[in-house]
Amino acid sequence: MMRMRKKKHGAERLAAMSHYLLERPDVPMEAPASLFDGGDGVCLEIGCGKGGFACGMAAAHPTVNFIALERVHDVMVIATEQAESRKEERTRDNLRFAVADANDLTAWFAPHTLDAVYLNFSDPWPKARHAKRRLTHRRLLELYFTLIKDGGALFFKTDNRPLFDFTLEELAALGVTPDYVTYDLHASPYNEGNIRTEYEENFSAKGFSINALRLTVHHK
Ligand code: SAH
């Protein structure tokens, strides 16, 4: 696995961006939208990396609030610094970040509190024995569904076809059907309004097509 070189002064740089960072709550948040001044609900990105998607979405959708999770501190430094350098793009203060692990989400959010969950270019964990670590393993998919409100949605995109096919199998095993599936997002009608992530720019520049799906969550 590629490792990021330890960032010089990482802790100080992150502390300087603490106005963007959420603290892990003592009890799961029943109303995460109350962290923000207005807006309609909360969308969550898991594994935001350098943060370009979250910055772009927050700017493009001023009525929505965005929270972006990333578990690696040194990567979060880059994401929050990008948010700071792009703050003029936002007409509302609608973007926050959290250093957090997807596996710990139930400590952050109460059930049925999120409008959408976005997974972008999640680590593929190609070895079969690591399947449980994939962020689209059925155990985690079920967790996201619990957190998403009735009528909310899960979005997933990746260049990695084996991970995408695995994800489709996991969804089928859970008995749910995506609203759409595309193996070439940029050539599809679903590309309208698509905000590209850093990985997405890299992989599409190299000629890889992007797989994407959306699934609307219906609670019984
Ligand atoms: N979404 C970004 C980065 C993709 S790389 C982009 O498309 O450009 C995947 C990112 O997910 C990495 O930054 C990695 O640290 C993060 N990640 C992996 N597992 C995670 C987990 N369990 N919880 C939170 N973030 C995770």
Domain residue spans of the chain: 36-216
Class of domain 36-216: alpha beta
pTM for this predicted structure:
0.96
Structure tokens at 78: 């880059």
| Active-site entry in 74, 115, 123, 150 | 123
Residue 4: predicted pLDDT: 62
Residue 183: phi, psi to the nearest 5?
-100, 0
Query: To the nearest whole number, what is the mean pLDDT of the chain?
Result: 96
Q: Which residue among 44, 69, 82, 135 has the greatest number of ligand 1 atoms within 8 angstroms of its CB, and so is best to mutate?
A: 135
Q: Does residue 74 carry a catalytic annotation?
A: no
How many angstroms is it from 47 CA to the middle of ligand 1?
3
What is the average pLDDT across 57-80?
Answer: 97
Give yes or no for a contact between 88 and 21, defined as CB atoms under 8 angstroms apart: no
* pLDDT at 140 exceeding the cut of 80: yes
Name the pairing type of β-strands 65-70 and 42-46. parallel
* pLDDT at 17 exceeding the cut of 90: yes
